[in-house]
Amino acid sequence: MEKTSNQNVCALCDDPIALKGDSGEHIIPNSIGGRRKVWGFVCRDCNSRAGDSWDVEIWRQFSHIALMHGVDRDRGEVPAVLVKTVSGKQLMLLPDGSLMPQKITFEKVPHAQGKGFLINATVRNTQEAGQMVRNLAAKHPEINVEEMLSNLKSSSEFLDSPITFGAGFSDPLGGRSMVKTAIAMAAHAGVKPSACDLALPYLLNKDCQASYGLFYARDLVSKRPTGYTPHIVSVRGDPISGYLWGYVEYFGMARIVVPLSDSYDGTSLSSTYAFNPANGKEVDIDVDLSFSDDEIERIKANEAYTDEQYAAVVYSSFGIVYFRSVRRQFRKTFAESVAYAASKLGIPAGEAVPPTQAKEFAGYLTENLQPLIVHMMASGIPIAEAMRIDEDD
């Protein structure tokens, strides 16, 4: 993990960092997969406060996209997120991209033959199933716990109603997190935060107007990956024009340009940190932060985009995220189908399938995989795309 130390005064409270403790600040928030840190940028207290407000908002805004795409954190577990379908059904979206019921359902109904009762229940895992059966056995001693557990069946079903979520971002909290990211990248490149005189006041004064502009007028990124949507932060300093620019992009959808300073007098610099959120692997990407006079005025007025340009970028980026989720779902279901077929034939995990059982194995595998294939075909999802193996996944 790359670390850079910048200064001895906190950028957010102006107190000596030595008094409050240095804190490695993730340049891009840890919550969405950032790994690279800058030291000597903010004190521990300010890091904590910014993380609990600004950076938390970034996760709130992008959590659905993050779990569909796949995100790997430098520290801490990625939590499940509550989602809702158009029909109103509430589910939990898991870090592996799959869905599970939000709540356990339980129904005790009389047996049709008038003796005993039947249990209809939906649980999310075998641990919950075991606990439910043991609780029932405590009230009904006649229940054979082992027999009931051995007869449990797991099943998968597919949504008949799409999930709803918004694509908005860059509200005051999330916007401040992204501007902080741009200043942190400048600090990482050796620029003192105090030199970011156009952007730093936005972080220090809650009444200060936003110091950035959305940018969708053209794609500033060259060598853009096609199999995933990268996180990107880039800075460029030009002492001739006096401009110090920052650029921040998340999941291909949120794209902002931050005028950090218009009186930059340091050395020429250009520095970019870009990576795949799914695994943290850094990628070589070029960002063009050379702007025409007209573009500069449009950035300052937050008019460097049209609704059509914004929609086109979001649509394209979401398509990448969506098909990543399709491939992840297929791989997960295929692995489960292999495990199912092996268990039906008593083949230990990791062992080769005996040639004499190959046909039976294929039958069980197909049996378990068939519902997903049928669902994908009915939904118009290209099966070849679901089966594609991408090294970026």
144-163 tens-digit pLDDT: 778 777 766 666 667 767 77
Is residue 79 one of the residues assigned to a domain? no
pLDDT score, position 99:
83
Is residue 339 one of the residues assigned to a domain? yes
Q: Which of 40-54, 78-92, 263-277 has the lowest mean pLDDT?
A: 78-92
* pLDDT bucket at 305, cuts 50 / 70 / 90: very high
249 and 368: one domain? no
pLDDT score, position 3:
45
178 and 46: one domain? yes
186 and 268: one domain? yes
191 and 66: one domain? yes
Q: Which of 137-141, 147-151, 325-329 has the lowest mean pLDDT?
A: 147-151
pLDDT score, position 72:
95
181 and 237: one domain? yes
186 and 284: one domain? yes
Given a cut of 80, whether residue 306 has pLDDT beyond it is: yes
Given a cut of 80, whether residue 123 has pLDDT beyond it is: no
Average pLDDT of span 105-111: 73
Domain range spanning residue 380? 308-387
Average pLDDT of span 114-120: 68
CA distances in angstroms from 14 to 116, 197, 322, 340, listed in the order given: 72, 14, 43, 60
Select from 305, 332, 352 the last residue of a domain.
Answer: 305
Is residue 279 one of the residues assigned to a domain? yes
322 and 249: one domain? no
301 and 315: one domain? no
Select from 275, 305, 335 the last residue of a domain.
Answer: 305
**Structure tokens given for 36:** 């690279």
Q: Which of 71-85, 165-179, 229-243 has the lowest mean pLDDT?
A: 165-179
Is residue 155 one of the residues assigned to a domain? no
Q: How many domains does the chain have?
A: 3
Is residue 88 one of the residues assigned to a domain? no
* pLDDT bucket at 86, cuts 50 / 70 / 90: confident
Average pLDDT of span 307-311: 95
- Its pTM stands at 0.86
Select from 260, 284, 305 the last residue of a domain.
Answer: 305
* pLDDT bucket at 212, cuts 50 / 70 / 90: very high
Is residue 159 one of the residues assigned to a domain? no
Q: Which of 55-64, 110-119, 258-267, 340-349 has the lowest mean pLDDT?
A: 110-119
Give CA–CA dist 192/270, Å, rounded.
Answer: 15
34 and 181: one domain? yes
Give CA–CA dist 203/55, Å, rounded.
Answer: 13
67 and 210: one domain? yes
Q: Are 285 and 222 in contact (CB under 8 A)?
A: yes
113 and 251: one domain? no
pLDDT score, position 1:
46
Alpha helix segments (H runs only) across 346-382: 358-378
Is residue 131 one of the residues assigned to a domain? yes
Is residue 357 one of the residues assigned to a domain? yes
300 and 197: one domain? yes
pLDDT score, position 148:
72
pLDDT score, position 130:
77
